[in-house]
Chains A and B, each alone.
Chain A
Amino acid sequence: MKIRNPFLLRASERIESDAGFLRLYSPLILDYFIDNMDGGELWNTFLFIRSSPGAGKSSLLRLFEPTSLLTLLNRKSGDEFKEVFKKLKKLNAVSDDRINVLGVNLTFTRNYELLESFSNLPPGTRDRLFYSLLNSRIITATLRAALSITRLRFPEDLHKIEFKYKDENLYFKKINIPCNGHELYNWAAGIEKAIYELLDSFLPVNPTSIEGHSELFSLEALRPDSLLVEGRSLFDRILFMLDDVHKLSAKQREGLITHLLEKRTNASIWLSERLEVLNNLKTNRGRDYEELNLENYWKDRESKFEKLLTSIAVKRAAESREDVEFALDAQQSELELAEVYKEAKKTLSNTINTLSAGTTRFNEWKNHLFQFEGTDQETCELAKQIEILIHRNLAKSELALDYSLSILELQEKTDEKVVQAARLFLSRQFNLPYFFGMTVLAKISTNNVEQFLGFSAPLYERMLSLNLNQTSVSISARDQDREIRKLANEKWKDLNKMIPDSVLVTRFLENFCTFCINETFRPTAPYAPGVNGFYIDATRTIKLINEDEWLSNDIFTDLQIVLNTCLAFNLLHVKEVMQGKKGQKKNIYYLNRWLCVKFGLPLSYGGWRTKKPDDLLRWTKR
C-alpha cells in the first residue's frame, strides 16, 4: 500500500522484505571485510562492530542472516543485487550455488541485565543462569537459522536436524546427545522459559530447579559438522552475531568478552555495540580482536554516503501515492536574494575600506575587488575572503613594510578553507541561506540514515504542499535553510524530553558551542572554516589525578555522565585522526552535525581544539 509521506515511516528495516532491504543496501562497507580477508583471517578474528545508533550496525548483521543470503542467491544476477553478491562471494559467504556461512543473529535487547537486579539470588547463581540463558538462546537461534538456510519449516522440520557432538565435558545435563533438532530445541527453550518465569514471578521460584551452566559452551558445541540434515553438513562455518552487547550490565559484558577471548573457539564471532566512552578493553587490538567503527569508516567516503542517501530518497519518494519526487535546489536563487546581496556588497566594501584606511598594503586587493565583474553573490564572497585575509595580515605582530600586496598573493592565500569560512561568515552576517542542497543534507545526517530521514521527512512534506499548488516541488535554498534550522531548534528543545541528565548535557553542549562560535567567528578565521570538535588531552589533567584514571575518578562524574550520554544519544561522535608522533591516533569528539546547524557552525571536519578534562568539567558546571 502506498502512503502519503514515506519519509515518515518508521522501522522500515523490519517491515521491508529481504529483497527491498537488499535493494537499498549499500555494500560499500563490505570492502572493509574484503580488505581484511587475508587467508580467511576475517572469519577467525573476534570482531567488534561499533557505532552510534542508526549508523547501520543492524543492517550489516541482517545482510548475513540466512533469509537475506537466500534472497540474494536467488536473485544474484539481477542488476540491483549483483554488486552485493559479488562482494559476499569474495568473502566466501556465498558461492554461486550455495550459502557457505550460517549467520546467527542474537540481539541483546532481551533483558539479560534483569538477572543482575535479582539481589536475592547469590552472584554465582546469577552467573550460571546468565550463561544458561545465553546458551539456550544461541541454540534456539542457531536451529532456526539452520532450518531457514536449508529451506525447511519451523517448527515442523526441526526433527530433520541431527545434533552430533562429543560431550566430553558433560555440558549437556538434562538431555541425551546425540539427539534431533526438535529435542535440542525443546530442551533449550525449556531453560529459557524457566529462567523467564523466575524473572517474572510474583511468587517464589526455586532457582536450583533450573539447569545452570558455568560457561558458554553453545559456541563450541554448535559447529557445521555437529548440525546435520540427512547426514550432511550444509554450511562451512557459523557466524555468531551478538548485537547490542552494550545492553548487558557492565559485569555481564566484561565477563562475556573475557570468556570469549579466553576460550577462543573456532566459531566466527562478531559483537556489535553502541559506541560508549568507557568500554575500553584491557586487551590488545589486533592480537586479540579487531574493531570496525562504522562512523570512522564512512568519514572518508562522504560522496558515497551521499549517493546512498540519494538512492534512499528516490526509493522512498517512489513509495508515495502523491507521485512527487524529492527535489532540493542546490543553488541560491539570485533573484530571491538580490536585495540582500546588493546591501551586503555595500556593507562589505565599507568594512574593507575602513579596515585598510591607514595603509596602502591592500590597494591592489581592493582594486581587484572593486573591478570584479562577477555576480553580486560572487562579489560578496570575494569581499569576505579579502576581509578575512586583511584581518589576518593586520594581526601579524611583525613590522610590515607598507608595500602593496599583489593579486597573486591574494590568490595564494585564498585556499579552500578561507572560501568556506567566507561563505559561513556571510551567511551569519547577512542571514543568508547556508544549509541547503543534498550534499549539505547528507553532511547533516552525520553518517546516519535515521537522522537523514528525520530531516528529509518535513522537507518532503513541504514538497507535497508545493505540489498541491501545482508549482515546482523543488524547495529553494532559503526555504531549505529555514526548515533545516527550524528542525534543529525543535530537536534541541526536545532534548530535555529525550535524554537523561538533560540539564547537565545541554549546559555542557551550550558552553562547548559558545566556545566553538567564539573560535570560529574570530575575524581572522584562525580555524577556518570553523571549530566543532574537541580532543581530550588527559596528560594535561589536573596534577593530583593520574592521567589514565580521570575517566574513572569521581571528581569527573558529571563529565563522564555527559560524555556517555552524548555518545549514547549521538550528540557527539568520535573520529580517530592520526596526529603527533608517527602512528599516534587521537580520538576527536565532534558535534553531531545537527547541533552544528542549531548553533550555526560549519559542517566540516578537522576544526577541533584540545581541551583538558577539567576544562570540559567546567562546562558542565555553569
Chain B
Amino acid sequence: MDKKIKNKLRWDPYVLLRNSEVASFTTDHFAKDAGRKLLYIMGVGFDYRMNTGIRSLKTSCPDLDIECLLIQYDEGKSSSSKKYKLLVDANLTSLQTIVPLEKTQVRNIDLWTASGKKKQRVGDKNVADVFNDATIFEAYTDVIVDISALPRGIYFSLIGKVQAILDEYYADKDINFFVSISENAQLDSHIKEFEPDSELSYVFGFRGGSELTSDEKEIIWLPILGEGSRKQILAAHEKIDPDEICPVLPFPSRNPRRSDALLTEYHQLLFDELAVEGQNIIYVPEQNPFEVYRTLSVTVQDYNDTLAILNGCDIVISTFSSKLLSIGALLCAYEFKVLNNIKVGILNVDSSGYEIDDEPAAKKMSEKSELFLIWLAGEPYKP
C-alpha cells in the first residue's frame, strides 16, 4: 500500500464478520454483558432477507434487549413493488415473532416529492432527517443498521447520518455501530430493476464536489460494475460527464470468472462508447467492503496527487453491484468527507420498480444467503 495513506485510514484494521462468525460474536458480545441495549434499525420491504439478520441475532442472544426502528418507505403510487404487499406483510408478521410490537417503532418516509408535475427523489434526505434529534442514541450501547431490505437510495444517507452523529456527539461514549447485510448475489439477480430514474442526483451527504461550479476540477468516475446495468451506467455517465473513468470489477469473487463475464458484457460500452483506457480497470474483492474501501481510498488519493498541478480532482463513485461492495464506496466517501480534502461524491441510479422473477425459486435461494456484520464504530476503533 501507498505509504502516504497507510496508518491514516480510519478503518484499517477493521472488523468484518460473516455467517457463523456473526453468531459466535453476537453471543459473546451481547450475551456476556447484561447491560447492553441495542437499537436495531431496519427497512420494511418485500425482500425475503428482511428478517435474516435480526432473527440470527435473537437466536444467538435470546435475552438481548432489542428495540427496533422500522423504516417504512413509500415509493409512490406508480411503484411496481406494491404488488408484493403480501410478501411485505408476511415479513412484518414474522418480525413480530422476533421483536414484540411494543419494542418496535415505525418511521414513515416518502421516497419522492412532487414539485408541479415533476417528481424528485427525497428519500435520502428524509431518512437522514429521522435522526435529526441526536439524543435518539443516548439510551443505547449498540446500534445496528440492517440494510438487507433497504434500497440504495436510502441506506447510504442513513448510515452516513448515524456515523456522523456518533462521531460528533458520542465520540467519548463508544457506542458500537454495525451494519448488517444478508447477501446473496444469485437472489439479487432474480430481483430485476426497471424504470431507472431519469433525473439523477447525488446522494444526500455524499454530493461530492463535481457540482460546485466555482471549483471546477477534473472529474474521475469510479463505477463499481454489476450485471445488467447498461442503461443505468449510461444514465450516470451522462449526468457525471467524467474526464476519466476507472471501472471497478469484483475480483477475487465466488465465481472466479465474474469479472471476465462483466468485461464481456460491457466491452462495447466501456471501450467503444465510453473510450475507457484498459489500464484504468480496478479490481476489488467481492466480499470484503473494507478492502473495497481501502482500494478506492488509495485510488482517490493517488489521482488527487497526480492531478495536483491541475488543482486536484473530484471523484464520483457509483455502485451498480452488490450492497456489500457499496458499503466500501460509502466508507471511502465518508472518510474523505470528514477529512475535507478531496471531494468524493456518490451517484447511484435508483429505479422506480422492482420485480421478482420466479418467486418460488427466489424464496428458496434466500435460504442460502450469507450474513455479514460490518463493525464501523466503537470498541475496536478506540485510539
Closest Cβ–Cβ distance, residue B352 to chain A (whole Å): 6
Query: How far is B239's CA from A120's CA once the two chains are assembled, in angstroms?
Result: 28
- When C-beta atoms are compared, the residue in chain B nearest to A106 turns out to be B213
Q: Which of B10-18, B96-104, B191-199 contacts A (4 or more CB under 8 A)?
A: B191-199
Instruction: Collect the chain B residues with CB atoms within 8 Å of residue A473's CB.
Output: none
Q: Indicate if the CB atoms of B122 and A117 lie closer than 8 Å.
A: yes
Closest Cβ–Cβ distance, residue B209 to chain A (whole Å): 8
Q: Indicate if the CB atoms of B211 and A500 lie closer than 8 Å.
A: no
A-B contacts, 24 listed (Cβ < 8 Å): A8-B268, A9-B272, A9-B273, A11-B237, A11-B238, A111-B211, A114-B201, A118-B125, A120-B129, A137-B213, A185-B214, A193-B214, A193-B215, A199-B207, A202-B128, A203-B165, A249-B118, A250-B116, A278-B117, A498-B195, A498-B196, A498-B198, A500-B195, A564-B117
| Residues of B within 8 A of A (CB-CB), count | 48
Q: At the interface, is chain A mostly helix, strand, loop or mixed?
A: helix
Instruction: Collect the chain B residues with CB atoms within 8 Å of residue A193's CB.
Output: 212, 214-215
Q: Indicate if the CB atoms of A560 and B117 lie closer than 8 Å.
A: yes
Query: How far is B117's CA from A200's CA once the two chains are assembled, in angstroms?
Result: 25
Query: How far is B355's CA from A497's CA once the two chains are assembled, in angstroms?
Result: 12
Q: Indicate if the CB atoms of B161 and A202 lie closer than 8 Å.
A: yes
Q: Indicate if the CB atoms of A496 and B113 lie closer than 8 Å.
A: no
* B241 located at the interface, meaning its Cβ lies under 8 Å from any Cβ of chain A in the complex: yes
Instruction: Collect the chain A residues with CB atoms within 8 Å of residue B40's CB.
Output: none
Q: Hey, which bits of chain B sit against chain A, CB under 8 A? A: 78, 113, 115-120, 122, 125, 128-129, 132, 157, 160-161, 164-165, 168, 194-199, 201-202, 204-207, 211-215, 231, 234, 237-239, 241, 268, 272-275, 352
Instruction: Collect the chain A residues with CB atoms within 8 Å of residue B116's CB.
Output: 249-251, 278
Instruction: Collect the chain B residues with CB atoms within 8 Å of residue A117's CB.
Output: 113, 120, 122, 125
Q: Indicate if the CB atoms of A14 and B194 lie closer than 8 Å.
A: no
Q: Indicate if the CB atoms of A189 and B214 lie closer than 8 Å.
A: yes
Query: How far is B120's CA from A118's CA once the two chains are assembled, in angstroms?
Result: 12
Q: Indicate if the CB atoms of B195 and A499 lie closer than 8 Å.
A: yes
* A3 located at the interface, meaning its Cβ lies under 8 Å from any Cβ of chain B in the complex: yes
Query: How far is B194's CA from A358's CA once the two chains are assembled, in angstroms?
Result: 58
Interface size, A (range):
35 or more
Query: How far is B164's CA from A200's CA once the two chains are assembled, in angstroms?
Result: 12
* A5 located at the interface, meaning its Cβ lies under 8 Å from any Cβ of chain B in the complex: yes
- When C-beta atoms are compared, the residue in chain A nearest to B311 turns out to be A155
Query: Which of A110, A114, A569 has a CB less than 8 Å from the CB of B213?
Result: A110
Closest Cβ–Cβ distance, residue B78 to chain A (whole Å): 6
Instruction: Collect the chain A residues with CB atoms within 8 Å of residue B214's CB.
Output: 136-137, 140, 185, 188-189, 192-193
Q: Indicate if the CB atoms of A8 and B196 lie closer than 8 Å.
A: no
Given A117-B122, A249-B116, A499-B198, A10:B274 Cβ within 8 A: yes
* A4 located at the interface, meaning its Cβ lies under 8 Å from any Cβ of chain B in the complex: yes
Instruction: Collect the chain A residues with CB atoms within 8 Å of residue B157's CB.
Output: 202
Instruction: Collect the chain B residues with CB atoms within 8 Å of residue A200's CB.
Output: 204-207
Q: Indicate if the CB atoms of A249 and B273 lie closer than 8 Å.
A: no
Q: Indicate if the CB atoms of B129 and A141 lie closer than 8 Å.
A: no
Query: How far is B334's CA from A200's CA once the two chains are assembled, in angstroms?
Result: 12
Instruction: Collect the chain B residues with CB atoms within 8 Å of residue A113's CB.
Output: 115, 118, 120
Q: Indicate if the CB atoms of A498 and B161 lie closer than 8 Å.
A: no
Instruction: Collect the chain A residues with CB atoms within 8 Å of residue B199's CB.
Output: 247
Q: Indicate if the CB atoms of B275 and A251 lie closer than 8 Å.
A: no
For A10, A109, A200, A569, the residue with the greatest tally of chain B CB atoms inside 10 Å of its CB is A200
* A615 located at the interface, meaning its Cβ lies under 8 Å from any Cβ of chain B in the complex: no
Q: Indicate if the CB atoms of A3 and B195 lie closer than 8 Å.
A: no
Q: Indicate if the CB atoms of B241 and A14 lie closer than 8 Å.
A: yes
Query: How far is B164's CA from A111's CA once the two chains are assembled, in angstroms?
Result: 23
Interface flags, A191-228, vs B, CB<8A=1, else 0: 01100100111111000000000000000000000000
Q: Indicate if the CB atoms of A3 and B275 lie closer than 8 Å.
A: yes
For A9, A249, A494, A497, the residue with the greatest tally of chain B CB atoms inside 10 Å of its CB is A497
Leading 9 A-B pairs by shortest Cβ distance: A250-B116, A189-B214, A202-B164, A249-B115, A8-B272, A140-B214, A200-B207, A110-B211, A8-B273
For B195, B198, B213, B274, the residue with the greatest tally of chain A CB atoms inside 10 Å of its CB is B213
* A116 located at the interface, meaning its Cβ lies under 8 Å from any Cβ of chain B in the complex: yes
Query: How far is B196's CA from A185's CA once the two chains are assembled, in angstroms?
Result: 38
Instruction: Collect the chain A residues with CB atoms within 8 Å of residue B206's CB.
Output: 200
Query: Which of B115, B129, B168, B202 has a CB less than 8 Å from the CB of A250?
Result: B115
Q: Indicate if the CB atoms of A250 and B118 lie closer than 8 Å.
A: yes
Within 8 A of B (CB), among A116-146: 116-118, 120, 136-137, 140-141
Instruction: Collect the chain A residues with CB atoms within 8 Å of residue B122's CB.
Output: 117
Closest Cβ–Cβ distance, residue A228 to chain B (whole Å): 22
Closest Cβ–Cβ distance, residue A507 to chain B (whole Å): 13
Query: How far is B116's CA from A113's CA once the two chains are assembled, in angstroms?
Result: 12
Closest Cβ–Cβ distance, residue A582 to chain B (whole Å): 34
Instruction: Collect the chain B residues with CB atoms within 8 Å of residue A250's CB.
Output: 115-118
Q: Indicate if the CB atoms of B241 and A189 lie closer than 8 Å.
A: no
- When C-beta atoms are compared, the residue in chain A nearest to B234 turns out to be A10
- When C-beta atoms are compared, the residue in chain B nearest to A552 turns out to be B117
Closest Cβ–Cβ distance, residue B342 to chain A (whole Å): 15
Closest Cβ–Cβ distance, residue A189 to chain B (whole Å): 3
Q: Indicate if the CB atoms of B117 and A189 lie closer than 8 Å.
A: no
- When C-beta atoms are compared, the residue in chain B nearest to A133 turns out to be B213
Closest Cβ–Cβ distance, residue A537 to chain B (whole Å): 22
Q: Indicate if the CB atoms of A498 and B204 lie closer than 8 Å.
A: no
Q: Indicate if the CB atoms of B194 and A10 lie closer than 8 Å.
A: no
Query: How far is B149's CA from A183's CA once the two chains are assembled, in angstroms?
Result: 50
Q: Indicate if the CB atoms of B195 and A11 lie closer than 8 Å.
A: no
Instruction: Collect the chain B residues with CB atoms within 8 Å of residue A323's CB.
Output: none
Instruction: Collect the chain B residues with CB atoms within 8 Å of residue A415's CB.
Output: none
Query: How far is B206's CA from A199's CA once the two chains are assembled, in angstroms?
Result: 10
- When C-beta atoms are compared, the residue in chain B nearest to A185 turns out to be B214
Instruction: Collect the chain B residues with CB atoms within 8 Å of residue A3's CB.
Output: 272, 275
Query: Which of A11, A199, A497 has a CB less than 8 Å from the CB of B241?
Result: A11
Query: How far is B354's CA from A155's CA once the two chains are assembled, in angstroms?
Result: 48
Query: How far is B117's CA from A9's CA once the two chains are assembled, in angstroms?
Result: 34
Q: Indicate if the CB atoms of B115 and A116 lie closer than 8 Å.
A: yes
Q: Indicate if the CB atoms of B115 and A251 lie closer than 8 Å.
A: yes
* A449 located at the interface, meaning its Cβ lies under 8 Å from any Cβ of chain B in the complex: no
Query: How far is B273's CA from A193's CA once the two chains are assembled, in angstroms?
Result: 34
User: What would 11 more interface pairs be, CB under 8 Å, given A496-B195, A497-B231, A500-B119?
Assistant: A4-B272, A9-B273, A114-B201, A141-B213, A189-B215, A192-B213, A202-B161, A249-B120, A250-B115, A499-B198, A501-B78
Query: How far is B117's CA from A568's CA once the two chains are assembled, in angstroms?
Result: 12
Query: How far is B120's CA from A204's CA once the two chains are assembled, in angstroms?
Result: 22
Query: How far is B196's CA from A496's CA once the two chains are assembled, in angstroms?
Result: 9
Given A4-B272, A200-B207, A10:B237 Cβ within 8 A: yes
Query: How far is B231's CA from A140's CA once the two chains are assembled, in angstroms?
Result: 34
Q: Indicate if the CB atoms of B207 and A497 lie closer than 8 Å.
A: no
Closest Cβ–Cβ distance, residue A622 to chain B (whole Å): 18
Closest Cβ–Cβ distance, residue B77 to chain A (whole Å): 10
* A44 located at the interface, meaning its Cβ lies under 8 Å from any Cβ of chain B in the complex: no
* A92 located at the interface, meaning its Cβ lies under 8 Å from any Cβ of chain B in the complex: no
* A502 located at the interface, meaning its Cβ lies under 8 Å from any Cβ of chain B in the complex: yes
Query: How far is B207's CA from A10's CA once the two chains are assembled, in angstroms?
Result: 24
Within 8 A of B (CB), among A235-264: 247, 249-251
Closest Cβ–Cβ distance, residue B131 to chain A (whole Å): 9
Within 8 A of B (CB), among A3-29: 3-5, 8-11, 14-15
For B115, B119, B204, the residue with the greatest tally of chain A CB atoms inside 10 Å of its CB is B115
Instruction: Collect the chain A residues with CB atoms within 8 Å of residue B234's CB.
Output: 10
Given A188-B214, A250-B116, A497-B195, A196:B274 Cβ within 8 A: no
- When C-beta atoms are compared, the residue in chain B nearest to A14 turns out to be B241
Within 8 A of B (CB), among A95-111: 106, 109-111
Query: How far is B270's CA from A529's CA once the two chains are assembled, in angstroms?
Result: 42
Closest Cβ–Cβ distance, residue A155 to chain B (whole Å): 8
Closest Cβ–Cβ distance, residue B6 to chain A (whole Å): 27
Instruction: Collect the chain B residues with CB atoms within 8 Å of residue A5's CB.
Output: 272
Instruction: Collect the chain B residues with CB atoms within 8 Å of residue A199's CB.
Output: 207
